[in-house]
A and B are shown apart, each in its own frame.
Chain A
């Protein structure tokens, strides 16, 4: 059971370039989300989805788009990369919207924008 799989693990972008971070889960979880991790700030929610075809914004959505065409996949798109988007990105999934279920995280994508 692979859990949550993120690709790529590392990426360097030039300012203004676009790219897509991939996230896939094989646990049939309804809820998926993207976080970014910055030193001293914990993890902050970028976008989330409560099911296929449904997405919504988190705390820090600017500069990012998401889509959820299937239950398994939840890609994150950077439209025009900026140095402020240098961060470690984590995808997470959990079963349903229940408050008592824990989230499962991917191994992260370390992104550097130069």
Chain B
């Protein structure tokens, strides 16, 4: 069965420091991976995706993610965190051939960036 794990419920970083939000996955076949961000009382916004090609994927708001096939990971990164990056982050994988290609979400990681 396809699955996604986000091992940290919360990540705390100081403004200006680099940030990493971790994600590992388990799929059969090639993975299609996504990161979404949810600001308080808002819907999910798409950040970036990995389909194929370069292992380093660049997305919105200065975020990037590194796909590592051997470690089955897709960690979200940003070189310099902003207070406005504080939000809930979800990693997701596409469930190929099941329920219309539904997204399977991790449980979410709360990112807190302090000034």
Contacts and interface: CB of A to CB of B under 8 A. Distances in A.
Interface stretch (A13-21, A68-76, A77-85, A98-106): A98-106
Contact of A100 (B32, B41, B103): B32
Interface string B39-60: 0011111100101000000000
Contacts of B101: 31, 97-99
A86 interface: no
Contact of B49 (A44, A50, A58, A102): A102
B90 A103 contact: no
B100 A105 contact: no
Interface size bucket, A side?
20 to 34
Main secondary structure of the interface of B (DSSP, over half): loop
Interface of A: 4, 6, 31, 33, 35, 40-45, 48-50, 56-59, 90, 92, 97-100, 102-108
Contacts, number: 68
Contacts of B74: none
Contact of A45 (B4, B51, B99, B106): B99
B104 to A, nearest CB: 8
23 contacts: A4-B43, A6-B43, A31-B100, A33-B102, A41-B107, A42-B4, A43-B105, A45-B99, A45-B102, A56-B99, A58-B99, A90-B44, A98-B101, A99-B94, A99-B101, A100-B49, A102-B46, A102-B49, A103-B46, A103-B103, A104-B46, A107-B42, A108-B41
